[in-house]
Amino acid sequence: MHDVILSLILLFVAAFSSLAARLMPVPVPLPLLQIALGVLGSIAGLHVTLDPDMFMLLFIPPLLFRDAFHMPMREFGQLRTIIFALAGPMVLATTILCGYAIHWMLPPMPLPVCFALAAVLSPTDAVAVGGMLGTSVPRTIVHMLEGESLLNDASGLVCFRFATVAAMTGAFSLRGALTTFSLLSLGGIAIGIAVCLAAARLDKILLARGYDDPPTQITFMLLLPFAAYMSAEAVGCSGILAAVAGGMTIKLTGVLQETQITTRLQARTMWDMVGFIFNSVIFLLLGLQLPALATNGMALVRAADRSPWMLLLLIVAIHAAMCILRAAGLALILGIAAWRARHDHGVFRWPGWRGLLVSTVAGVRGAVTLAAVLSLPQAAEGVAGFPARDLLVTVSVGVILVSLLTASFSLPWLTSGLMDGMVDPQAREVSWARLVLVRTMLRAMRDEQQTLTTRAKTRDEAGEMRIEIIARLMQEYENRLNQLRRNSNGEASVAQITSIRRMRLELALRLNNLRTSRIELRNLRDAQYINDETESLLMQEMDYEEQVLRNRARSLPRVN
């Protein structure tokens, strides 16, 4: 099938899956629904040959760049010790201990091959973690898991690389492995920072000279993760860490905040689309590979005169072993972090055993594991393939599915009521920041009012008009300040409740007026009093105004 037609089919199924997930009477996690649709597509005759290198290049850099850009840097700094422990020593321990566990389950399989399988399963998936957790989990756990998934891909792939070399050549050097790991990691981070710093510097020069075209800016930004990834891979460093470091670098430079508002709005929309489409296509491609991989797995089982249930039992046992190791590692790392926080009067608290279970189950495997295991060399004429490649591929895909199923059906139960009685720190922080901003605007208006009052003798018509406008603005800011304030119990007074309800009614009327204006604008276009270009320009202005009104409505406190 032509690649263009196949791409269009995947995009259609991605959009359809999101709609179907909303319409289904029983809630089904979107990744599982997309995998199921991929399986149906494969059975219906839709076949895709997955090139692991192309898969990694096309999907991983923009998704990691996007996730790194959205990672809150303050929380990343606060949790950096935990995140680096999970992304480094935790991956290494999982590779070694789980490798021995797999060798104990399958004694005929060589130990280096077992290490390769454990290494490829060790990194959690940044694509799936965020979508699995939702809003019912404490933000500390979410930030910890997201930070871990951004960094552990590189350490897992380095362990996988050395394990595969040892399996095929029998040669392994611990000192060489550690040296190579350090060079690959630090080199990838340095290259990602350098590429994006240079891009940010160039962009600031263009902005200073007035070159702020939104389509051009967004296109260059979309190419940045690929540039960082390919530059690092070209010199043998970690492209994954380069993409992550690049996303954080662009965020820290603040170059996006210096662009015009249209660029920022369109950039957010573009990255949302990239995240949705790429995430969906990854799970669809996984589903498309499943029937062929399952067939190969069954053939392996029959060739060994074993029951197919033995293969399923092996997959479940490996996933269980990795969950046990992950829970033990998390308990150790989080326990040490909580003890150090108490000793140093820090802010980190032990998340509780329920939070520990959530962190364990949420460590799902996904795109990187799939691409890495499919990159293992196949046997060809005159070329030796990787030992037990088909078994490793089958087991890896099976563990991916089991981890997704386990997380999808257990996380809603584990997270139910987890936030009861807890105040969302982000919501509290947003409310506090709004209060500070309104007070700042009021202070600026009072200073301006005082300045104009001291110049009463030289005041002209413009000065009188300015005083009138300042008084009206101060009244508006005072009303907003009253709406945001709370008493000592965190409850609003009767006057505040009345003010909030009045504002909600005003916003509702303004939104209704906008809808009426859109209808009238369409009638003017239909009657050919205005052309399509005029309609589009005025419609865009209304869209911006409506967005402001809706944001204003969302910022109002909730009252009974």
Q: What is the pLDDT of residue 422?
A: 58
Distance CA 498, CA 325 (A): 55
pLDDT tens profile 54-92? 888 888 899 889 988 988 888 888 888 889 999 888 998
Q: Are residues 506 and 438 part of one domain?
A: no
Strand ranges inside 429-538, DSSP E: none
φ, ψ dihedrals at 424, nearest 5°: -65, 115
Q: Are residues 299 and 436 part of one domain?
A: no
Distance CA 205, CA 188 (A): 26
Q: Are residues 13 and 145 part of one domain?
A: yes
Report pTM: 0.83
Q: Are residues 430 and 416 part of one domain?
A: no
Mean pLDDT, the chain, whole residue set: 83
Among 203, 246, 256, which residue's Cα sits nearest to residue 60? Answer: 246
- End position of a domain, from candidates 435, 464, 491: 491
Q: Are residues 81 and 44 part of one domain?
A: yes
Q: Are residues 88 and 106 part of one domain?
A: yes
Q: What is the pLDDT of residue 488?
A: 43
Question: pLDDT higher for 360 or 138?
Answer: 360
Range(s) of the domain holding residue 464: 425-491
Q: Are residues 171 and 142 part of one domain?
A: yes
- End position of a domain, from candidates 441, 472, 491: 491
- End position of a domain, from candidates 491, 509, 535: 491
What's the rounded mean pLDDT across residues 132-156?
79
Q: Are residues 214 and 361 part of one domain?
A: yes
Distance CA 445, CA 468 (A): 12
- Give yes or no for residue 32 having a pLDDT over 60: yes
pLDDT tens profile 178-200? 777 788 888 999 999 999 999 99
Q: Are residues 451 and 548 part of one domain?
A: no
What's the CATH code of the domain at 346? 1.20.1530.20
Give the lowest-confidence range in 62-71, 95-104, 119-128, 287-296: 119-128
User: What confidence category does residue 391 fall into, taking pLDDT thresholds of 50, 70 and 90?
Assistant: confident
Domain count for the chain: 3
Instruction: Identify the burial level of 444 via C-beta atoms within 10 angstroms of its C-beta, where 0-12 means exposed, 13-18 middle and 19 or more buried.
Output: middle
pLDDT tens profile 445-456? 888 888 877 776
Pair of tokens at residue 364: 């799902």
Give the lowest-confidence range in 55-64, 221-230, 290-299, 340-349: 340-349
User: What confidence category does residue 226 fall into, taking pLDDT thresholds of 50, 70 and 90?
Assistant: very high
Q: Are residues 204 and 155 part of one domain?
A: yes
Q: Are residues 361 and 477 part of one domain?
A: no
- Give yes or no for residue 396 having a pLDDT over 50: yes
Q: Are residues 539 and 402 part of one domain?
A: no
Report CA torsion sign: 469, 471, 474, 478: negative
Question: pLDDT higher for 136 or 396?
Answer: 396
